[in-house]
Amino acid sequence: MIKLNMGWSGLSLHRAIFFSCLVITILSLSTVHAMAHNVTEGDAGYIQEIWGVNLIPFMYLGAKHMVTGYDHILFLFGVVFFLYRLQHVAIYVSLFALGHSTTMLAGVYFGWNVNAYIIDAIIGLSVVYKALDNLGAFQRWFGFQPDTKAATLIFGFFHGLGLATKILDYNISPEGLLPNLIAFNVGVELGQILALCAILIAMGYWRRTVGFWRHAYTANVVMMSAGFVLMGYQITGFFVSA
Q: What is the pLDDT of residues 35-82, one digit of tens each?
A: 445 556 666 666 767 777 888 888 888 888 888 888 889 999 999 999
pLDDT above 60 (res 100):
yes
Cα–Cα–Cα angle for 176, 181, 186, rounded to 5 degrees:
130
Query: For 34-94, what is the HEC assignment?
Result: CCCCCCCHHHHHHHHHCCCCCHHHHHHHHHHHHHHCHHHHHHHHHHHCCCCCHHHHHHHHH
| Separation between Cα atoms, residue 8 and residue 225, nearest integer Å | 16
pLDDT tens-place string over residues 126-184: 999 999 999 999 988 988 889 999 999 999 999 999 888 888 877 777 888 889 889 98
pLDDT number for residue 158 = 95
149, 22 contact by CB (below 8 A): no
pLDDT number for residue 40 = 61
pLDDT above 50 (res 194):
yes
* First-last CA distance in the chain: 41
Beta-sheet strands, E only, within 153-203: none
Distances (CA, A) of 112 to 43, 45, 106: 21, 22, 8
- pTM of the prediction? 0.82
Burial of 208 (0-12, 13-18, 19+ CB in 10 A): exposed
- Boundaries of every domain in the chain: 53-241
pLDDT number for residue 33 = 41
pLDDT number for residue 21 = 47
